[in-house]
Amino acid sequence: MAGRHGTLVGNAAVDGHKGTKKFTEPGEVVRHYAEVCLTRWGVNLQKKLDLSKAQLQGHLFKIKGDYNEYVVMRNSTYTFSTDTAGERTISLGSKGTNFTRVSGATFIPTEGLSKGHIPDSNYFADII
């Protein structure tokens, strides 16, 4: 999912930290699917987004259109940052690597973080 940790939990700021809210879509997609799963598990939620397939598709289309702006977020961090192969270094298990190298058979899709963006709501078909 495009964005930073803060973006996915509802911080819609351009840098994923603070400022004007622009990127609401990732947080809403994540919240929607969390609510879908919790409801399936029997949790009674009072306020759900309950996005329609058309709304979900619209959010994913907007994320795709803004994708280059999300990539810029990779260059900033809340803590000390180093670079590996021209990208922000992140942890993969006990090793540091560059952002787009987090991929492989343990990820769905196998492209992992290098996938870019989620193409459409069919990506989530197995969880709803």
The secondary element (H helix, E strand) that includes residue 39 is helix 25-40
**Rounded to 5°, angle at Cα 19 from 55 and 61:** 25
pLDDT digits (tens, 9 = 90+) for 24-76: 999 999 999 899 989 888 999 999 999 999 999 999 999 999 989 888 887 66
Q: Cα(25)–Cα(23) distance, rounded to whole angstroms? A: 6
Across 72-85, average pLDDT: 66
The secondary element (H helix, E strand) that includes residue 87 is strand 87-92
Q: Domain map of the chain by residue range?
A: 1-77, 79-116
Structure pTM?
A: 0.66
